[in-house]
């Protein structure tokens, strides 16, 4: 078996999803008599955040979603930012609002997320949206990264029912929503973290292993079961031989001979995250205007 056929090609999956989103954009435009739209707020000078926002806006514009980029200085007060969001909540023609994280230390991430209208919360981080996901409802906004992971898993493996899925990492934006999505697909789920004792004892049982740790190449072949499917969420920037490299949380070369399928970094989860943001934006443009929305990620 060559290594190529073991790779889950996130670029290709994201292109396919974007093609479906483009059709929904046209349908939304017909119904609403305007294009779907997203407002993206960027605060401060974080280089990675700037790149993420640039890519999100570029993709939106390419597929007919109107985007409004709002750049604010890191000195902005929490109150001023809350007022900006209130104003965007009130604008009828704005379907989605995204505040790029992380925020400066003096601003409460929780307060900001809570202030976004849940119907416009295209990141899916508002407690109402996370609560719906926890209850097993997929009709709210679902965080983009886990949504992209479940999309690829369903496309690659078909039914996930009965599989053991272990997640390494319990963040609110990846690990926890990932567990809810896998549970909804009838996986038996385990979530692990930095205090987990005997981590490999859990990961070695996983038919599906999700690595969302933030530590370059942490997972090697001693952590995985033969023929496991691995989703590597990690994005770790490292300088190697004077070149900037992006590494995943999984040591790809070390595990490849043992796995069934694996997402590479880059070219795996990353492109799917942006495609899912576009999906959530167009979904918001249907739902907040009370138009029926046919789910394409779970029902296809
Ligand atoms: P995070 O909030 O820092 O969470 C990391 C998680 O890993 C925590 O739950 C932590 O446990 C756990 N962890 C840390 N060291 C561990 C260890 N030695 N053993 C077991 N668990 C350990 O990170 P995140 O926001 O979820 O992101 C995770 C990674 O995904 C990062 O590399 C990030 O850049 C990447 N990411 C990629 C995308 C994408 O689009 N591809 C999107 C989001 C994030 P504790 O809770 O106990 O501290």
C-alpha 111/C-alpha 15 separation (Å) is 34
What is the per-residue pLDDT for 299? 67
Mind listing the pLDDT tens digit for each residue in 32-77? Answer: 999 999 999 999 999 999 999 999 999 999 999 999 999 999 999 9
Residue from 13, 49, 192, 212 to probe ligand 1 pocket by mutation (most atoms less than 8 Å from CB): 212
Pick the atom of ligand 1 nearest to 272's CA.
Answer: 40
From the CB of 169, is ligand 1 less than 6 Å away? Answer: yes
User: Are the C-beta atoms of residues 36 and 95 closer than 8 Å to each other?
Assistant: yes
- Please report, rounded to a whole number, the percentage of residues in the chain having pLDDT higher than 70: 99
119 CA from centroid of ligand 1 (Å): 27
CA 10, 14, 15, 16: dihedral to nearest 10 degrees? 110
Q: From atom 1 of ligand 1, which residue's Cα is the shortest distance away?
A: 171
- Confidence band, pLDDT 50/70/90 cuts, at residue 139: confident
User: Are the C-beta atoms of residues 85 and 109 closer than 8 Å to each other?
Assistant: no
140 CA from centroid of ligand 1 (Å): 24
pTM: 0.97
Pick the atom of ligand 1 nearest to 273's CA.
Answer: 40
pLDDT value at 300 more than 80: no
Pick the atom of ligand 1 nearest to 193's CA.
Answer: 21
Share of the chain residues as helix, strand and coil, in percent rounded to the nearest 5: 45, 15, 40
C-alpha 58/C-alpha 289 separation (Å) is 25
User: Are the C-beta atoms of residues 224 and 255 closer than 8 Å to each other?
Assistant: yes
C-alpha 230/C-alpha 255 separation (Å) is 9
From the CB of 275, is ligand 1 less than 6 Å away? Answer: no
């Amino acid at each position: 078996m060559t290594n190529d056929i073991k790779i889950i090609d996130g670029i290709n999956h994201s292109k396919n999803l974007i093609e479906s989103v483009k059709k929904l954009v046209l349908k939304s435009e017909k119904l609403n008599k305007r294009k779907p739209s997203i407002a993206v707020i960027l605060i401060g000078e974080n280089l990675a955040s700037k790149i993420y926002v640039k890519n999100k806006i570029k993709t939106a514009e390419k597929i007919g979603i109107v985007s409004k980029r709002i750049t604010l200085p890191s000195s902005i007060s929490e109150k001023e930012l809350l007022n900006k969001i209130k104003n965007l909540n009130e604008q009828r023609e704005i379907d989605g609002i995204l505040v790029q994280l992380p925020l400066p230390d003096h601003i409460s991430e929780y307060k900001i997320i809570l202030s976004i209208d849940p119907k416009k919360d295209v990141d899916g981080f508002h407690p109402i949206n996370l609560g719906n996901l926890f209850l097993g409802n997929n009709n709210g906004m679902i965080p983009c990264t886990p949504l992209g992971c479940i999309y690829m898993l369903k496309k690659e493996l078909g039914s996930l029912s009965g599989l053991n899925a272990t997640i390494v990492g319990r963040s609110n934006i990846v690990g926890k929503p990932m567990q809810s999505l896998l549970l909804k697909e009838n996986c038996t789920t385990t979530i692990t973290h930095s205090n987990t004792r005997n981590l490999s004892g859990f990961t070695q049982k996983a038919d599906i292993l999700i690595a969302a740790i933030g530590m370059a190449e942490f997972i090697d072949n001693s952590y995985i079961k033969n023929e496991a499917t691995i989703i590597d969420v990690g994005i770790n920037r490292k300088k190697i031989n004077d070149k900037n490299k992006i590494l995943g949380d999984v040591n790809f070369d070390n595990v490849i001979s043992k796995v069934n399928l694996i997402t590479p970094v880059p070219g795996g989860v990353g492109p799917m995250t942006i495609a899912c943001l576009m999906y959530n934006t167009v979904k918001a443009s249907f739902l907040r205007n009370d138009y029926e929305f046919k789910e394409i990620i779970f029902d296809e």
